[in-house]
Structure formats: C-alpha cells, structure tokens
A = this chain, B = another copy of it.
Amino acid sequence: MPVRQGAILWFTGLSGSGKSSLSQALAPIIAQHHPVEILDGDQMRKALCRDLGFTREDRDENVHRLGFVARLLARHGIVALVAAISPYRSARDEVRARAAAEGIPYIEIHTDATLEALVSRDVKGLYRRAIAGEIPNFTGITDPYERPDTPEIAVRTDQETLSESVARVVVELRARELLGPSTERVSR
C-alpha cells in the first residue's frame, strides 16, 4: 500500500478553552485531504484510561497512551487530532520527540484563553465547582498548567470566534504543507 503522510495535531489548553470544538470544526476540513481521527481526552479516558486519575503521574500516563495511539494512526497516513488538557510540558515534549523520531509531523496547538475568561464563561459549570472545592486537582485552579513555550500554533479562543480560530489553523497547516492549497480540493 502507498504510504501517505499522517500527522499529529495536539490540542492543549485549559478546560473549556475550546480544544474539542476546534478539533471537531477542523476535522471535516482536513478530511478533504487526509483521513482523520479525533482522539478526545474525555472519551479516551473511558475507552483506554479508566484506571487513571488526575495525579501528575496519571496525567502523564494519559498523555503517553494518547500519543501511542496517535502515532499508530499517523503511521498509516491518518491525521490524528488529539484534544486533551495535557498540562505538563515534559509529557507533551515526549510525544513530540517520539513523533519526530518516526518522521511524523507533530503540530502543537495551544487553545489559549485567560483563566478569568474561562471562569466567567464556565460553559460546563466545572470552574464554579472546582473553586468551591468540589473537584480536586482541577487544572488552572488547584493543579498546574504549564503553557507551551513555542507551540506551532496558538489561538486566543477568548478573543476570537471559533471560525476565526479555524481559519488561522488552516492557514498554518497550509503553510506547513499539511493541507492542499484549497479546502475545495477533493481527495487525492
């Protein structure tokens, strides 16, 4: 079988910062050029990580497993969109290093928003509960989030619309030749 070019798009950011929304909006656009799979952190916790909690060790193991499955898919020409808080830099960098060792493009996308904006928006009501002490180890409140130093792409989801974020990611992916020149283009 011909080897096609897969890739890993890794969406990292605080809860409610738009990782899932952005990956879901991008998937059909990327699917015009490449087979796509979304690995959503919440869903993957049920499927592959039932044992894991929210200690640093467990969060790192969660990222490790997501990275393993993403590489497996990317090796077969699939673009894996991973949406997971993945708060620790060293765990993300390990995924990046392992992908690089296999020649798999790894694009880190930081869905950046101020904690204040997320708390005030509080789409799922989780921040209110975390601040009230009802959810332990909540990233940004009682657990750390290590911001990416030099993500390939950063979108300010508290300052731009979802469509604007999507457009910026698409421009970046085209600049990196991971997408064809136009989303109108059909599959090769």
A72 to B73, CA, bound (A): 9
Question: Given A72-B69, A76-B73, A187-B2, are A48 and B48 neighbors across the interface (CB < 8 Å)?
Answer: yes
The one of B2, B47, B61, B76 in contact with A68, judged by C-beta atoms closer than 8 angstroms, is: B47
A37 to B51, CA, bound (A): 26
- Let me know if A1 is at the binding interface, CB within 8 A: yes
- Let me know if A31 is at the binding interface, CB within 8 A: yes
The one of B35, B61, B69, B187 in contact with A50, judged by C-beta atoms closer than 8 angstroms, is: B61
What B residues does A52 contact at CB under 8 A? 51
Q: Are A34 and B73 neighbours in the complex by a CB distance under 8 Å?
A: no
What B residues does A81 contact at CB under 8 A? none
Min CB–CB distance A7 → chain B (angstroms): 14
Min CB–CB distance A45 → chain B (angstroms): 12
**Residues 77-125 of A at the B interface (beta carbon under 8 Å):** 78
- Let me know if A156 is at the binding interface, CB within 8 A: no
Interface string of A48-82 (1 = CB under 8 A from B): 10111000000001000100110011011010000
Min CB–CB distance A36 → chain B (angstroms): 9
The one of B35, B65, B69 in contact with A76, judged by C-beta atoms closer than 8 angstroms, is: B35
Name A residues whose Cβ lies closer than 8 Å to a Cβ of B: 1-2, 31, 34-35, 37, 47-48, 50-52, 61, 65, 68-69, 72-73, 75-76, 78, 187
19 contacts across the A-B interface (CB closer than 8 A): A1-B34, A1-B35, A1-B187, A35-B76, A37-B72, A37-B75, A37-B76, A47-B65, A48-B48, A48-B65, A48-B69, A50-B61, A51-B52, A51-B61, A69-B69, A69-B72, A73-B73, A76-B76, A76-B78
For the A-B complex with A2-B187, A37-B75, A48-B69 known, give 10 more contacts whose Cβ atoms are closer than 8 Å: A1-B34, A1-B35, A35-B76, A37-B72, A37-B76, A48-B65, A51-B51, A51-B52, A69-B69, A73-B76
